[in-house]
Structure formats: structure tokens, C-alpha cells
Amino acid sequence: MLKNPILEIRDLHAKAGEKEILKGINLTVFPGEVHAIMGPNGSGKSTLAQVLAGRDLYNVTGGEVLYEGRDLLALQPEDRAQEGIFLAFQYPVEIPGVSNLYFLKAALNAIRKRKGEPELDAMDFLSRVRQKMSLMEMDEALLNRAVNAGFSGGEKKRNEIFQMAVLEPRLALMDETDSGLDIDALKIVSHGVNALRGPDRAIVVITHYQRLLNYIVPDYVHVLAEGRIVKSGDKSLALELEESGYAGIEEFAETAQ
Amino acid sequence: MATQLTSIETLANQEYKWGFVTDIDADTVPPGLSEDVIRLISGKKNEPPFMLEWRLKAYRQWLKMKEPTWANVHYPPIDYQKIIYYAAPKTKTNQPKSLDEVDPELLRTYEKLGIPLHERELLAGVAVDAVFDSVSVATTFKEKLSELGIIFCSFSEAVQHHPELVQKYLGTVVPHSDNFFAALNAAVFSDGSFCYIPKGVRCPMELSTYFRINAKDTGQFERTLIIADEGSHVSYLEGCTAPMRDTNQLHAAVVELVALDNATVKYSTVQNWYPGDKEGKGGIYNFVTKRGKCLGANSKISWTQVETGSTITWKYPGCLLIGENSVGEFYSVALTNNYQQADTGTKMIHAGKNTRSTIVSKGISAGHGQNTYRGAVKILKGATGARNYSQCDSMLLGDKCGAHTFPYLEVKNTSSSVEHEASTSKIGEDQIFYCRQRGISTEDAVGMIVNGFCKEVFRELPMEFAVEAQKLLGVSLEGSVG
Ligand SMILES: Nc1ncnc2c1ncn2[C@@H]1O[C@H](COP(=O)(O)OP(=O)(O)OP(=O)(O)O)[C@@H](O)[C@H]1O
Ligand SMILES: [Mg+2]
């Protein structure tokens, strides 16, 4: 059976101020797939994730993005989120005064409302949250603390995936979720992500390290360099990169220009 | 949330059903203030001589006083001779006849607040048959309360039926000469609430005046006096909403609280007088004097206020801590958006031994709003072992607004301790985006962050008020970000 792509990025160009960062990205993601994006620092990986999430710091100057066949770029960030796009931030933001639990409930109910589902009552919400907490092996005390406020680097990253587990997005974008995690946490987080894998969902993982991909095994690996995807392959590409770095590939990028 | 709305609704409906109708008085007094006008007001209210004398004393004092200029607020001079100090409810001809004639933006706001339809009509100043004010709402439970010996009635009624109590306590906390606006109030105040809790009685319900609707195009001067006798306990709530008018309206109220030995008074306000429009046109000048006197040992007076309305707020609910071990508290959220200005804070005067006070102030500025915290803590010579803790936090939304903090401190007793903490924060674009990425709209995100910021104050509010206060903040901040 032929499936329709969940995400289609066609020749996407984006600027921050005068600086062009994305210079023609093409990427198609089908439901059920996991794509890994790798690439040197400053190549535009986070920018791509942020543009997909609707950050207005970036101006899209060309190309198009279809999400479930519809024009994604026309949607507000909260609409994208409500439609099932989740971004696990490279640098999760602290929100003092707002408890993690309250925040998550507001988020979940906004998404449910969009789907025409009723708000979860306190009991159902709590039991769902508890279940995901134990999946992520997180301390329940974190629930009553303010969102990310005073969390350690690793706790913040784990909290992102915990939120993702509760919100169950259709398209998850994970921006360097592995950086800052210790080895045990990496396993737990990967386990949480794998639990979310399913035939209707897709995941795009941005990472620098092959290690994560041992746990979250990708269907495709892409290399982003200077605002373009310069190479794509299967999971063995990540291993190659681990061996020889980006050097060879950047040469390729230059010759391609 | 639903329970809160139904309780307001029931209260209002009950009142409506009971049909407490404000006397429709056809007389009006011409604009301006003179001894004759005061005599007329006092006469219409059938007051005993001591009241008239007190009013006249205040008026003569007021004539010698100057409007204060030290507050960080700016407005064109008020012509006190143009204000109508006593007027019958407005004739129905120039009021809107139905909701169709009322500004839709205002109606949307009411809808958001969940105010039931017939109350929306009242709020919008639509002509309805029974115009009621807050005092008559309060009287709903009068019988039940009177079984306990609690007196809760309008100030006018108190003057008629309990003149001895009025005479004993009126002006003992806020004297007729206290300040320009308090003197004006003493001279002309038209009504207000009166409450007396007898010895050892714990008032079984929150006493509240929910709507103080002023259907008149006049100055509004109400006066509240609450006396908690030895060992008694009372929690009083005050909610204010005003019709929308494009001229500025002066509101100069006075509240006096007295707590005797071991008595507790908790006074909560959610102030949502009309703040003026987006350009700063219209709105209420809220120049209010509120003070409590902890006269008895171990007494406690606690002020909680949420100030979101009014174009200008000038208000410093304070405590005179006279009795040994008495406690004063001030919890405040003040929000200014568009062109609103607020200069608010508290005055804690420690006179007795081991008196304690706590001040928690949260100022939120958005739009072109200017928000000033002005607080004074005075520890007098005899106040051995007195303690104060103050915390003043400001939050800025956008870069055209301002937050200012003026804490004054005067310590005359070396055994006392005073602590002050302050902070200023901004809601960051990255915080908003983070919330939006989780499906939460900008408006809800701002509301959530601001409510989080105010948590310590909301916690002090009675449950149903806390819910309302949160909604109010959301509505008041609409359009301030993004
Ligand atoms: N708002 C901005 N204004 C100006 N330049 C920006 C902005 N955001 C990103 N850039 C620049 O765009 C380039 C790409 O940044 P981006 O964060 O997307 O890189 P990245 O691939 O995620 O890198 P890393 O692996 O270090 O996380 C960098 O040179 C960065 O400095
Ligand atoms: Mg990055």
C-alpha cells in the first residue's frame, strides 16, 4: 500500500536577518520512518527544526513544506503543535512560576481540543503522566517544579522527551536530545523514543553522535552541511561519518557548488 | 471554575429575585461642592447631627488641603466643582436600551469573564428595571448573620440603626483630615458597607460585595467600616467593575478596619474598574485610602488586592500595628496595560512590641503601562522585636512600559529586623515560543506565566476570587504581547 508522506520539504531557503542559513533543503519523511540528520556545527540543523516549528526569527525565502499534504508554513506555531508536530529543543527554555504539570496539562488539552476530544480530567491526566514518568524513570518531584527551572542539563533533555511521550506527536523533531545525557539517561531516553515509534508516526533526530543511533536505529541518515543536505544514506552512513568525520563530505559540498 | 461562576450567578440572581431596588430619587444636586451640598446630602440621608458635623469638619479641612502630587502618576487637573456629588440614578433615556447598543468589545470581555447575561446588561449600564448596588447584594444573608449578632449592612443603614458604633469608630483609622481624597470622601460619601463582628464570633461565610455598579455619571465616594471585636474573625471580599465611559470618573473611597484583641480581618479586593480604552481615553481615577488598625494584642489584618482596572490607581492599604504581637499583611498584584498608571503599595507602621508584617507585591506592566510600588515600613521606638519582610517583584511585557520601586524605611528600634527583596523580570520571546510549540497560544502562555508570577498573592485569595483574578489578568493583558 502506498502511503502519503508526513513531511515534504522542497527546496527550502531560510534567512535570519540578512544571513542565509538554509540554502535549499529537500527531505521527504513517510509515516513510520526515523530519519537522522547529522552535520557540522553551524550547518543549519537547529534552524531547520525551528523553521519547521514556526519560529519567526527565521524568514522563509523560498521553497515549500507540506505536512500531511498541507502547507505547513501557513500555520501558526501553536497550530502546528496542535496538529501533531513536536520539537524537543536543543536548549529547553525555563518558565519560572509555571509548574511542569500545569504546563503539560495546558498543552495536552490544547491538542485534544484541536482533535475535538474532551479535556482529560485530573485523574486520567495524572495516570497518563505517571505512566510516562515511569517510562522515562523520572522523579515525580519534577512534576511540581517550574518548567525546566533549575533543572540540570540532563533533566531538561529528559523532560523534553517526557513531554513528547505525554503529547504523543505525529512528527517528532529532536534537536540534539542526546547531548548532555549520561549513558544511563541516554538509554532511558532512547527507550522512551522507541516506545513512541509506530506506523503512523515519524521521528527526525538531529545528533552529532552515532552512539544515539545505536539505540534509536534510523531508517535514513542525512548529512546537512552549509544549509543543504549533501548526502543521504542508511544507518551505515552514520558509522562512516564516525570513522572519517565530515571532511570528505564538505569537499563534496564544495564541488557540488 | 464552574462553581465560582454559579456562586456569583446565584448570588446575583438571588438578589434580583429579592428585589432590593435602589430608591429612585428624582432629585439631583447641581455639580459642585459647598456646605449647602453637604447639608443636603446629609439631610437626604436623614443623618443624625454628629454625622453632619463630621462631614462639615472634613469639608472645611479639605478646602485647606492640596491635591497630592508626589505619586508617580500624571493626569490633567480635576475640576472638583464640575463633579456631581449627589445624583439620582440616571434617567434611562441616554443609557443604552439593550446590549445591541453596547460596544461589542466590552461585551466580549464580559463573555470571557463568564459573567451571566443579565449581569452583563447591568455592567454595561443598560437600563434595567431594578438597578441594584453591592450593598443590597450583601444584605441577602442579613438574617442568618444577625442570629450570630453580626451586623452587615449599608453604611446608611448603620448610621440609622447603630449610630453608637458608627460614632465610636468612624474616622478612628482614617481621620477626616488624613489626606486630600480621604477628606473629600468624609465630606461627601454617599454610602458603603458596614460590618461589626461581635466578641468571639467567627463569621461563617465570606462577606462580599461583588458588583459596585455605578450607574451615575458622578464621582463615586463610598466608605466601608469593619470592626472585629475581641476574638472574632471575618473575611471580606470586594469586587469592583464599572461601566465603560469615555470621560474620567473619580472614585475616592475610604476603608477603615479595626481589629481588637485576638481578632482577625482579611480584606480581599479584585479591582476591575474601567481602565480606559487602548489610547488611554476614559477610565476611573481610583484614589483610595484603605487602612487597618490592629488595636488589640495578637490581632491580625491582612490585605490582598488584585488591581487590574482603573486608568490611575493611587492606593496604599496599610496597617497600624498597635497591639502587642499583632500582624499586618499586604499581598498585591497590580497590572497596568495600555496607558494605565498605578502607584500602589502599603504602609506598615509598627508601634507595638513584637509586631510583624509581611509585604508581597507583584507589579506587571504591559503596553505603555507605568507601575510603581511605593511602600513604607516604619518601626517606632516602642516596637521592640518588630519584624518586617518585604518582597517586590516586577514583570515587564514589552519595552514601552515601566516599573518603579520606592521602598521607604524608617527604623527607630534597634531590636527589630527588616528584610527587603526585589526583582525585575521580562517574559522572553523564547518562553512564548516554547509554549506555542507545545500548542499553547500566545495569549494563554502570557496568562500562564503572569499567573505563575502572581501565585504567592493568589494563594491568599479565597478560592473563587483566585479563579476570577486569574481570568481577569488574562483579559487585561489581551493583545499586550505578539
Ligand atoms: N537568529 C540568528 N541570527 C543570526 N544568525 C543565526 C541565527 N540563528 C542561527 N544563526 C546562525 O546560523 C547558522 C546555523 O545555526 P544552527 O543553530 O542552525 O546550527 P546547527 O547546525 O544546529 O549547529 P550545532 O550543531 O552547533 O547545534 C550558525 O552560523 C548560526 O550562528
Ligand atoms: Mg543546533
C-alpha cell belonging to residue B70: 508626589
Q: What is the spatial distance between Cα B301 and Cα B39, in angstroms, rounded to a whole number?
A: 35
Strand pairing class (B223-228; B193-197) = parallel
Contact A82 B452 (CB under 8 A): no
pLDDT band at residue B209 under the 50/70/90 scheme: low
- Is the pLDDT reported for residue B125 higher than 50? no
Residues 42-81 of A with CB under 8 A from B: 53-55, 76-78, 80-81
Chain A residues in contact with B427 by the CB 8 A cut-off are none
Distance (Å) from CA A208 to ligand 2 centroid: 10
- Alpha-carbon distances of A47 from A9, A42, A224, B379, B382, rounded to whole Å: 14, 9, 11, 57, 65
Q: Is B121 left (phi over 0), alpha (psi -120 to 50) or beta?
A: alpha
Q: What is the spatial distance between Cα A78 and Cα A105, in angstroms, rounded to a whole number?
A: 15
Cβ–Cβ pairs < 8 A, chains A and B:
75
pLDDT-flagged residues of chain A (< 70)? 1-2, 248-257
Q: What is the spatial distance between Cα B232 and Cα B214, in angstroms, rounded to a whole number?
A: 32
- Is the pLDDT reported for residue B58 higher than 80? yes
For residue range A136-150, what is the model confidence (pLDDT) as tens digits?
A: 988 888 888 999 999
Please enumerate, as own/partner, the contacts of A41-46 that have beta carbons within 8 Å and a separation of 24 or more.
Answer: A43/A224, A43/A225, A43/A226, A43/A227, A44/A224, A44/A226, A44/A227, A45/A175, A45/A176, A45/A206, A45/A224, A46/A90, A46/A175, A46/A176, A46/A206
Nearest residue in A to B444, CA atom:
A106
For residue range B20-40, what is the model confidence (pLDDT) as tens digits?
A: 223 333 356 777 888 988 998
Q: What is the spatial distance between Cα B309 and Cα B249, in angstroms, rounded to a whole number?
A: 13
End-to-end CA distance of chain B: 27
Do A22 and A57 form a contact (C-beta atoms < 8 A)? no
Contact B438 A103 (CB under 8 A): yes
Q: Tell me which residue in A92, A97, A110 faces B439 most closely, judged by beta carbons.
A: A110
Chain B residues in contact with A167 by the CB 8 A cut-off are 438-439
- Number of C-beta neighbours around residue A98 at 10 A: 24
Q: Say which DSSP state B340 is in.
A: -
Name the residue among B81, B79, B77, B96 with its Cα closest to residue B29. B81
Quick one: pLDDT at residue B276?
A: 73
pLDDT band at residue B202 under the 50/70/90 scheme: very high
Q: What is the spatial distance between Cα B446 and Cα B442, in angstroms, rounded to a whole number?
A: 6
Model pTM?
0.79
Tell me what ipTM this predicted complex has: 0.95
List the residue whose alpha carbon is closest to atom 18 of ligand 1. Answer: A44
Contact A53 B437 (CB under 8 A): yes
Chain A residues in contact with B425 by the CB 8 A cut-off are 96
Distance (Å) from CA A12 to ligand 1 centroid: 16
Three-state SS for A116? coil
For residue range B224-243, what is the model confidence (pLDDT) as tens digits?
A: 999 999 999 999 887 765 55
Residues 448-467 of B with CB under 8 A from A: 448-449, 451-453, 455
Which residues are CB-neighbours of B48 under 8 A, at least 6 positions away? B159, B163
Range name among B99-108, B269-278, B336-345 with the lowest pLDDT average: B99-108
- Is the pLDDT reported for residue B9 higher than 60? no
Name the residue among B354, B306, B346 with its Cα closest to residue B327. B354
Chain B residues in contact with A101 by the CB 8 A cut-off are none
Contact A78 B428 (CB under 8 A): no
Q: What are phi and psi of B182, to 5 degrees?
A: -65, -40
Nearest residue in A to B455, CA atom:
A97
